Amino acid sequence: MIKFQNVNKKYDNGYEALKDINLTIEQGEYVAVIGLSGAGKSTLIRCINRMHDISSGSLMVNDVEVSTLKGKEVRKLRRGIGMIFQSFNLVNRISSLKNVLVSFVPDMSMWRKILGLYTKQQKIEALEALDRMNILDKAFIRVDQLSGGQQQRVALARTLAQKPSIILADEPVASLDPITAKQVMTDFQRINEELNMTIIINIHHVDLALEYATRVVGIRSGEIVYDGPASEVTEQILEHIYNGKLEEELSGN
């Protein structure tokens, strides 16, 4: 469970990114966070794994107060939370398999890290993660030779290999063409349903959020203005979230 209680985030320059956020996300939910650029979407999800620190309030992840964690405790938190980025964050010069194996590095001894020595079990688990993402045939191909959609699947496989209970995705389909974006969103949906994994996606494309997520959280100017089932979102609610810019957002511009 993820629980925000009266959470505020104010940056050093004085900008208030989050204002009195109260939000509870249960294990196994598939949540899309929508809103205009600068609304606070990325800040919201990046507070969950302590990429950003909250300024005040309480943020609990699996009964642990995130803001009080230090050092190894923060690293342990992040091991249970996968993170997917728009830019994939892969090492282009190595194969898909080696990119997935990177997920095991934090738990390896120093000499194994230096020599790049992975166990047989780690290699099996990495291959299984690629297979789950239907990209096993690309295991030994350098990722810079893959399409954008294939690279995002490798990134997903890398995240799955670390066996998280939560996946955060920051604009994961923003750089993909419409057909590939739908395929990746379907991958997230399948992972959510098959593994009962919590998926929280910060997404610019409203139509994809409504089609694939089961719950939508709308943010405007750092405040939650809508939180409910995707099936119940109406045009009037979207207009409230986007403050008159709905048509522009729906078109993806």
pLDDT single digits (tens) 195-229? 999 999 999 888 999 999 999 999 999 999 999 99
∠ CA(18), CA(19), CA(23), 5° rounding? 80
What one-letter code names the amino acid at 170? D
pLDDT at 68: 93
- Indicate the pTM of the whole model: 0.89
User: For residue 46, which of 7, 12, 92 has the smallest C-alpha distance?
Assistant: 7
Confidence class of residue 77 from pLDDT cuts 50, 70 and 90?
very high
Confidence class of residue 74 from pLDDT cuts 50, 70 and 90?
very high
Average pLDDT, whole number, for the chain? 91
Task: Provide the token pair at 118.
Answer: 């992975």
pLDDT at 58: 97
Judged against a pLDDT cut of 60, whether residue 109 lies above it is answered with yes
- Output the CA–CA distances (angstroms, integers) from residue 181 to 176, 193, 246, 248, in the order listed: 5, 19, 20, 19
- Output the CA–CA distances (angstroms, integers) from residue 244 to 34, 248, 249, in the order listed: 15, 9, 10
Judged against a pLDDT cut of 90, whether residue 86 lies above it is answered with no
Cβ-based neighbours of 11, under 8 Å, separated by 6 or more: 17
Q: Domain limits of the chain?
A: 1-80+167-253, 93-163
pLDDT at 117: 82
∠ CA(29), CA(207), CA(145), 5° rounding? 85
pLDDT at 240: 80
Judged against a pLDDT cut of 60, whether residue 250 lies above it is answered with no
Judged against a pLDDT cut of 90, whether residue 4 lies above it is answered with yes
Mean pLDDT score, 133-161: 95
Q: Alpha-carbon distance 193 to 140, whole Å?
A: 29
H or E stretch covering 34: strand 30-34
SS3 144: helix
pLDDT at 245: 62
List pLDDT tens digits, range 16-62: 999 999 999 999 999 999 998 889 999 999 999 999 999 999 999 99
Q: Which fold has domain 1-80+167-253?
A: Rossmann fold (3.40.50)
pLDDT at 110: 79
